[in-house]
Structure 1
C-alpha cells in the first residue's frame, strides 16, 4: 500500500478545480436570497456582487502568496499551522472537516436534489437524490486523484455551457426594460442593515478558490501553478458573475427573481421555453455535480492530513491511503457527515454557516502573509502579492466586516448560527488533546 501522494496534477486540473469549485450552486441559486434581502430591487444586489468579487480577488491575491510559499498538502490548515502554531492549525482543519466542507457539500446536494426532483416531476425523490449524489461522488473520489481530476475538468467544461447560453440569449431575447442598478433597495429596507448579509450570501457563490491548496502535494509544480490557478480562475469567475447577473435582470426583474429558488432556470425557461429551460437546468445540475466533486476531492485531503499528524481521535482510520493512493477512508467519512447535514434540507442556512466558519480563518491567513513577511523575509516566495500591503489590508478589512457583521448585526438567527459554529470549532481543542494522549499511549506500547 503506497503511503505517498502521487504528483500527477498540473495547471489545467488546478485551474479547473478553482473554476469548478467556485462556479457551482451560488451563481445559479443565490440571486433569490440576494433580491429577497433587497426587497425585490436590483441596485444594492448588483453592487454587492461587485464588492464581493473585489474582496474575493484581494483574498485570492493575498492567500496565493502563502499557498506558493508553503506548497504542502492540507491547504489552509497547514498555512495557519506554519504561521501560528500547531493548535491553531489543527483547529483550522477541524473546522473545515466538521463545519465548512460538510455544510457546503450538503447545501449543494440539497439544491441538486430539489432541482432534480422538479425536473423529474416527483418531489418525493428530493431526499433520495440528495443523499444519492453525495454517496456516488464519495465513491468516485475513492478512485485515483487523476480520475477525479479528469471528472473535475469535464464537469467544468460542461458547466460553462448554460452560463454562456443564458448570457448570450438573455441579452438577445430579453427585453432589457428591467432596472439594473436602481433603486438600491425596496421600501422599508435599510441599506446598512443588509449589506453584510448580502455579502455573506454572495461570497458563497465566490467561495472554493482556496481549497485547491489542499491538493498542492499532488501537483507537479505547485509553486508556479497554484497562484496562476487561484488568480486566473477568480478573475474569470468575477467577470462571468457580473455579466450573467445583468443577463438575469435583462430577462426578469429582481422582484420576480426573488420568487424562484433557481432563478437561472426561471430565466432559461423564459428564453428557451419549457423544454429548453429543462435542458439548461440539466446543465446547471452538471455544474453543481462538478462543484460537489471538487469539495469531496479536497475535503478528505484535510482529514487525511489530520490523521497523518495524529491530531484527531481515530487518526489510524483517517490517515492511511487506499490502493489507489488516495485517502479513501477520509473520503467516506466526509461523505457520511455531509449526508447528515443534508438531511436538514436548508440551503441558505447551511451556506451561511459554512461562510461564517471559513471566513474567520481566511482572515487569519491574510494576516499571516504580513506576519510571514516580517518573520521570514528570506522565505522562498515564487509569487508575491502585488501592491503589498494594500491588497492584504483590503482582504483583511473585508473579511473582518463579514465575520463581525454575521456574528453581531445580522439578526438573532444568524448570531445563533454563528455562535454554534464557534462552539463546534472550539470543540477541536479537547479533541486534539485526546488525540495526543492516544498517540502517546500508542508510542509507549510500541516502545
Structure 2
C-alpha cells in the first residue's frame, strides 16, 4: 500500500446528493411500513408520523449543514463537536460512530441483502453468512479504489433503486380497488395514547430516515463543500421524504391497513398485486439494489471517521489508520470497520443493535444542534457560507425533536438505552489513556 496521506478532492454535488439519498433510502422504506402501521393502525396517523419524521430530519439537516459548511473537514460530526465542545466530545462521538454505529449498519444491511438474495433464488439458508460476507467485502474493495469509485457506485445504485420505487408509486396510486384510504380522523384505529403511538412510530421512521448527517464525513474530499454540502443535505432529505410519502400512499392504495400492520412482506405483496407473480421478484431486486447502495454509503462514510480521529493521534495504532491506498482511500480504517461488521453478523440481533444505535446517534445529533447555537453566540463573526434559515426556530425544532426521541427511548426501552450508553462509554478510558500518552510524548 502507498504511504499517501492526502485525501483527493473528487466529489461534486450530485455524488454528495446521491450519498445522502442513497444512504438514507435503504431497507427502511420497504420494511418499516410494517412497524409503523402496527403502531398506528391508522392511515392518517401513519402519514402524520412519516411527515413529522421528515420535518424533524429536514430541520436537523438544515441545522447541521451550517456547521458542515463552516467546518468542512473530513470527520463530519466528530469535528463539529470537537471544535465546539473540545477533544473529549469529538473523540466520544467518533468512537461511537466508527466502532459501533457504522459497523452495525453495514452488518444489518449485509444480512438483509443476503436474506433477499436467498429468497429470490431459493438458496440454502446456510449461505446467509457467506453471502453477507461477500456482499460487504465487495463494497469494501470498491471503496479501496477511492472516493470517486465509491461515489460513482452510490450514484448508479441511487438511479437504479428509484426505478422500482417509481413503478410502485405510479401503479399503486392508479389502483381502482376499494381500499379504505382515509386521512381523517388520524387517530381512528390507533391503540394507546397519542404520545406513545407517535413516539413508537417516530422511532421506526428515524431508522428509515437515518444516514443524512454522515455526508459531512467526506467534506474534505468535496470540490466545493461550502456550497454543495448544505444543498446535498437539504435537497436530499426533502426528496427522500417525498418518496417515502408516495411509496406509503401506494402501499395503502393497494392493501388495507390491516394487511400492512406488522407484515414484513408488505412490499412484496404489494408488488405481486400490482405486477402479478413477477412483481415479488421485481421488488426483491429493487430492495437488493437499494440495500447494496445503502451499505456502500455507510462503508464510504464510516471508514473515514477513524482516519480523522487518527490524524489527532487519538486511536491505538493511529499510524495504521492513516494509511491510504494509491487512490487515496483509508484502507486500514475500512478493514477494521469490515471486521467489526462481520463480527456483528456472526453475533446476530441486528434490529436490537440498530435500535440501540438510533438512541446513541441522536444524543450526538442533539449536541450538534446545540453546537450551532453555542457558536452563534461565542463566535458571531465566524465565516458561515451557509446559515440555517429562520434561526433559532429551526435549530430549536431539531433539538426538541431529538430530545423527544431520546426521552421516548429511555422510557419505553430503558435497558436498550442503557446498553447503548454503556458501550459508548467504553471509549472514555481509551480517550484518557491516549491523551496522557500523547502528552508524555510531547514532554
For the criterion TM > 0.5, the same-fold answer is yes
The residue number in structure 2 matching 1:85 is: 86
Please list, as runs of the form range in 1=range in 2, the aligned pairs for 1:248-327 lying within 5 A after superposition.
Answer: 248-327=251-330
Equivalent residue number for residue 231 of structure 1: 234
- What SS does the corresponding residue of 1:173 show, helix, strand or coil? coil
TM-score for the superposition, normalised by structure 2: 0.95
1:264 positional shift: 1.8
Q: 2:19 aligns with which of 14, 17, 20?
A: 17
Secondary structure in 2 aligned to 1:71? coil
Aligned residues of 1:307 and 1:315 also touching (Cα < 8 A) = yes
CA displacement at 1:90 relative to structure 2? 0.4
Partner of 2:148: 146
Deviations along 1:283-305, one digit per CA (max 9) or x if unpaired, are 22101100110010000110111
Give how far 1:436 is off: 2.9
For the structure 1 residues 391 and 93, does the alpha-carbon distance in structure 2 shift closer, same or farther, using more than 3 Å as the test?
A: same
Q: Is the 8 A contact 2:77 2:217 kept in 1?
A: yes
**Deviation of 1:331 (Å):** 0.3
With over 3 angstroms needed to count, the CA separation of the structure-2 counterparts of 1:344 and 1:260, relative to structure 1, is farther
* 1:17 positional shift: 0.6
Over 3 Å counting, the alpha-carbon distance change for 1:395 and 1:73 in structure 2 is same
C-alpha distance in structure 2 between counterparts of 1:336 and 1:159, whole Å: 27
Alignment correspondent of 1:119? 120
Quick check: 1:97–1:302 contact (8 Å CA) kept in 2? yes
CA distance in 2, matches of 1:364, 1:222: 22
Q: Provide structure 1 residue ranges, at least 5 long, that are not aligned to the other structure.
A: none
Is contact 1:360-1:403 (8 Å) kept?
A: yes
Change (3 A) 1:391 1:125: same
In terms of mean alpha carbon deviation, does 118-127 or 181-190 score higher? Answer: 181-190
For 1:7, what is the secondary structure of its paired residue? coil
CA deviations on 1:186-223 (whole Å, 9 max, x unpaired) are 47533322322211110111111111100000001100
Q: How many corresponding residue pairs?
A: 439
Hey, what's the Cα distance between the residues in 2 that align with 1:386 and 1:352?
31
Q: Partner of 1:49 in structure 2?
A: 50
1:369-380 alignment runs, 5 A limit: 369-380=372-383
Is the alpha carbon distance of 1:174 and 1:74 closer, same or farther for their aligned partners in structure 2, counting shifts above 3 Å? farther
Counterpart pick for 1:192 among 184, 191, 195: 195
Residue 249 (structure 2) pairs with residue 246 (structure 1) = yes
Residue 71 of structure 1 corresponds to: 72
Deviations 1:133-177 (A, max 9, x none): 112212221111111111111011011011100000112235252
2:104 touches 2:350 (CA, 8 Å); kept in 1? no
Shift of 1:378: 0.8
Relative to structure 1, the CA distance from residue 433 to residue 116 in structure 2 (aligned partners, 3 Å threshold; closer, same or farther) is same
Pair 1:432 & 2:434 matched: no
Q: Residue 346 of structure 2 corresponds to which residue in structure 1?
A: 343
Q: State the Cα distance separating 1:443 from its structure 2 match.
A: 5.8
Shift of the 44–350 alpha-carbon distance from structure 1 to 2, 3 Å rule, reads farther
Q: Residues 22 and 207 of structure 1 are in contact (CA less than 8 Å); yes or no, is this contact kept in structure 2?
A: yes
Q: What's the CA shift for 1:392?
A: 0.5
- C-alpha separation between the residues in 2 aligned to 1:41 and 1:347? 28
Aligned counterparts of 1:63 and 1:265: Cα–Cα separation in 2: 36
In 2: Cα distance, 1:266 partner to 1:343 partner: 30
Q: Which residue of 1 aligns with 2:32?
A: 30
CA contact (8 A) 2:61 2:237 kept: yes
* Distance of 2:188 and 2:416 partners within structure 1: 26
- 1-structure distance, mates of 2:366, 2:261: 31
Change (3 A) 1:314 1:186: farther
In 2, the alpha carbon distance for the partners of 1:36 and 1:343 equals 29
Q: Distance in 2 between matches of 1:28 and 1:184?
A: 23
Residue 212 (str. 1) matches residue 211 (str. 2): no
Which residue in the other structure is 1:407 paired with? 410
Tell me, in whole angstroms, the C-alpha distance in 1 between the residues paired with 2:62 and 2:295: 24
1-structure distance, mates of 2:191, 2:149:
52
In structure 2, C-alpha distance between the alignment counterparts of 1:345 and 1:175, rounded to whole Å = 40
- Alignment-derived partner of residue 98 in structure 2: 97
Give the root-mean-square deviation of aligned CA atoms.
1.7
* CA distance in 2: counterparts of 1:89 and 1:313, whole angstroms: 16
Give the TM-score of the pair, scaled to structure 1.
0.94
In 2, distance between residues paired with 1:183 and 1:63? 31
Q: Does 1:333 align with 2:336?
A: yes
CA positional deviation for 1:25: 1.1
Deviates further, 174-183 or 272-281: 174-183
Distance in 2 between the 1:336 and 1:154 partners?
A: 26
